[in-house]
Amino acid sequence: MNHRDPNEVESSDRKRLVLLSVFLSLLFCLLIIRFYQIQIMEGEKWTQVALSQHQTIATEPFMRGSFYSNMAIKEGHPGGEQPFVVDVPKFHLYIDPDSIPEASKGKVADFLLRLFAVQPSSDQEKKLRGEFFRKSRSRKIAVWLDRETRGKIEFWWNDFAKKEKIVRNALYFVSDYKRSYPFGTLLGSVLHTVQQEKDPETRQSLPTGGLEMLFNSYLKGERGEKAHRPLSEPSSRYGNPDRRA
């Protein structure tokens, strides 16, 4: 019977142990190098990738500057400062036609037509219905809606989308500010006004003349941005004004 030399066995085991140690050391070094590459060299890149999966950057509407009465002109002038022009929060209504099933588009259009009191067979009705059947992911349906109207639409849509199994953001609102003049035309020739449509790139109001144009560099605001997470459930505190189809 052959017996291996104990020294030879010990030497063989030692070689295996050295090779295993070297392999584990190299593997550990590779992990450190990869960690340094991801966390340090490419850290900014992967941070942006991670953020893009959980949030988007939403553009915030901004207010234009206002004009106020000068209380120092007349001693004992009653009341506080009186605004001559203010920005009022408004909302634009959009739809995502591709996310609304064909069978539901007519029902949504009927609801909005009744809410906006659009005359049947009018050009306005044909235009609104046509927006639902365009191949698009974003179509503007209505502009400058107040909070009450938005609340009515949200309440109806919340219930309708759940029943029809439609994604909630197939109908959504974009916030904005609309110029308002408490004194109407009384100061119109002095203040003038701004165009209803804003600059599509900067979202700045475009003055037509008067003090609005003269002091435009001081009055115009700056666009803001913020991280935006998925939308929460629409508010239902406005009640259901009428069960619109």
Q: How many CA atoms lie within 13 A of 80 on its CB side?
A: 1
Task: Tell whether 93 and 211 lie within a shared domain.
Answer: yes
Mean pLDDT of 99-117: 94
Report CA torsion sign: 220, 226, 229, 235: negative
Give the pLDDT of residue 72. Answer: 63
Using a pLDDT cut of 70, give the percent of the chain over it.
79
pLDDT in tens, 198-233: 887 787 888 889 889 888 888 887 776 665 554 433
Query: What's the whole-number average pLDDT of the chain?
Result: 81
Phi, then psi, of 196 in degrees rounded to 5 = -65, -40
Indicate the range of 106-115, 143-152, 206-215 predicted with least confidence: 206-215
* pLDDT confidence band for 75 (50 / 70 / 90): low
Mean pLDDT of 108-116: 95
Give the pLDDT of residue 225. Answer: 64
Q: Rounded to an integer, what distance in angstroms lies between the CA atom of residue 64 and that of residue 218?
A: 9
Mean pLDDT of 85-113: 93
Q: Are strands 139-145 and 224-228 parallel, antiparallel or unpaired?
A: unpaired
Phi, then psi, of 56 in degrees rounded to 5 = -125, 165
pTM: 0.63
Give the pLDDT of residue 235. Answer: 37
Mean pLDDT of 189-197: 85
3-state secondary structure of 111: helix
Indicate the range of 30-44, 62-76, 149-163 predicted with least confidence: 62-76
Residue-wise over 147-171: b if at least 16 C-beta within 10 A, else e? eebbbbbbbbbbebbeeeebebebb
Phi, then psi, of 19 in degrees rounded to 5 = -60, -45
pLDDT in tens, 164-188: 999 999 999 988 889 888 888 888 8
Give the pLDDT of residue 153. Answer: 96
Q: Is 121 exposed, middle or buried (0-12, 13-18, 19+ CB in 10 A)?
A: exposed
- The total of structural domains in the chain comes to 2
Task: Tell whether 18 and 92 lie within a shared domain.
Answer: no
Task: Tell whether 32 and 101 lie within a shared domain.
Answer: no
Q: Rounded to an integer, what distance in angstroms lies between the CA atom of residue 94 and that of residue 132?
A: 10
Mean pLDDT of 148-166: 95
Residue 157 lies in a domain: yes
Give the pLDDT of residue 76. Answer: 64
Task: Tell whether 19 and 115 lie within a shared domain.
Answer: no
Range(s) of the domain holding residue 91: 57-70+81-228
Give the pLDDT of residue 47. Answer: 80
Give the pLDDT of residue 74. Answer: 65
Mean pLDDT of 56-65: 73
Task: Tell whether 16 and 64 lie within a shared domain.
Answer: no
Residue 236 lies in a domain: no
